[in-house]
Amino acid sequence: MIHELHAEKVLDSRGNWTVKAYVNGISGTAPSGASTGTYEAKVIPTNQAVKIINSKLQRLVGEKLNQAEIDILLESMDGTDNFDKIGGNTAIAVSFAVFNAMHKSKKIIREIFPFPLGNVFGGGAHGGYTTFQEFLSLPVKAKSIYEAIEANAELHHRLKETFRKKAKVVGINDEGAITAEIDDLKALDIITDTAEDLGCRIGIDAAASEFFKNGKYTYRSLKKTLKPEDQLDFLIETAKKYRLIYIEDPFEENDFKNTAELTKKIGKNCLICGDDLFVTDERRLSQGIREGAANSIIIKPNQAGTVSQAYDTVSLAVKNNITPVVSHRSGETSDSTMARLAVLWSVPIIKAGVIDMRVAKLNELIHLWNMAESPKMADLKNMK
Ligand code: PGA
Ligand code: ZN
């Protein structure tokens, strides 16, 4: 039963306030995005979210501690499609806290572990010079969670050295990724060579809605502006040249058609993943399935608003052979709920960062690995 529910505001990794909910003394904290999709659950001001939990949501006290039931109550107390009234940030904080309170006594023991997809280099809305938002490493050769986490960390270390030698200005952005004054393709040259030495394959999150204006995609540092059909050719060429294993949001968030075209052309060897395209929403994923747009989906529970809605989207994806990738946001805390969700749901990939406070998620994966009897890394099928 829920005996006690309250909320407080806490700082996130960007130094912004976010909402932390406590259920029976166990917490859950809402993350937040910078390159958010238009169709995500609504985010309301943190003060308001705290107030709603400490007043209106007190009617949850006395209810059974049951994820599905509480999540449905949250949806019905809001009454809109997108948590317009109580806020998706409010809902996910409570939903995470319920999840953690339930699993405090019922430990998560699973044998299949996700490969960490690590953001080692970046730009776009998270800070940096490149137009692509994230340059991601998948340690496909790793045999254990330790090897996988270490490969990404080692790649981050090596790249920091290399970029310091090859670029004038080098830094770290919102997600702990390295930034350097260099163009997207030169960055890929450097990252791919170093990654392959460590048994990692490379992918990108283009986050294309962020650089789509007036019908065109503008690459600042490459000094080119592409029509959608040219963006398609450019991505196919780039994927082949750098053996990309993963491309997230290759087109703006409404372009199912070109995403489908890209999936048809290179989807056999590359995950084409929808983040802003699907926003962890079953209806948008259903449209993607009908149109053949993407063969992978980002699962960000706060885009949906509750753990149960995120899980329904994972189930729909798995039934349709769409690879789910559970993901953090660019604004995070040391909350590690998403690592437990990824293991519980046996998803093959988790995008959780490489350094700084993001290690809370990675360290939780290590803990769950050590609690399992004979843990194994997920089967990446033909991705090695
Ligand atoms: P966000 O970025 O958390 O800033 O939305 C992450 C992503 O686009 O995958
Ligand atoms: Zn994304």
Query: Cβ distance 235 to 224 under 8 Å?
Result: no
The CATH homologous superfamily of the domain defined by 112-377: Enolase-like C-terminal domain (3.20.20.120)
Within 10 Å of residue 97's Cβ, how many Cβ atoms? 28
Active site residue 300: yes
Q: Select which of 175, 210, 252, 261 is catalytic.
A: 175
Nearest CA among 271, 214, 280, 357 for reference residue 41: 280
Report whether pLDDT(291) > 80: yes
Total residue count of the chain as it appears in this document:
384
For residue 249, report the distance from its CA to the centre of ligand 2, in Å. Answer: 6
Q: Where are the alpha helices (DSSP H) in the chain?
A: 46-54, 67-78, 88-105, 145-166, 184-197, 228-241, 256-266, 282-291, 301-304, 307-319, 337-344, 359-371
* CA 257/CA 316 separation, integer angstroms: 21
Pocket test for ligand 1, best of 175, 273, 330, 350 (most atoms within 8 A of CB): 330
Q: In the chain, which segments carry CATH 3.20.20.120?
A: 112-377
384 falls in which pLDDT band (50, 70, 90)?
Answer: low
Pocket test for ligand 1, best of 275, 325, 326, 328 (most atoms within 8 A of CB): 275
CA angle (136, 277, 293) in 5-degree steps: 90
For residue 287, report the distance from its CA to the centre of ligand 1, in Å. Answer: 22
Fold of the domain built from segment(s) 5-102: Enolase-like; domain 1 (3.30.390)
Percentage above 70 pLDDT, the chain: 99
For residue 369, report the distance from its CA to the centre of ligand 2, in Å. Answer: 27
For residue 20, report the distance from its CA to the centre of ligand 2, in Å. Answer: 24
Write out pLDDT tens, residues 59-117.
Answer: 999 999 999 999 999 999 999 999 999 999 999 999 999 999 999 888 899 999 999 99
Q: In the chain, which segments carry CATH 3.30.390.10?
A: 5-102
Looking at the CA of residue 125, tell me the nearest atom of ligand 1: 4
* DSSP string covering 20-42: EEEETTEEEE--B-SS--TTSPP
Active site residue 147: no
Cβ < 6 Å from ligand 1: which residues? Answer: 33-36, 125, 133, 205, 207, 275, 327, 329-330
Write out pLDDT tens, residues 21-33.
Answer: 999 999 999 999 9
Point out the ligand nearest to the CA of residue 351. Answer: 1
* CA 259/CA 272 separation, integer angstroms: 8
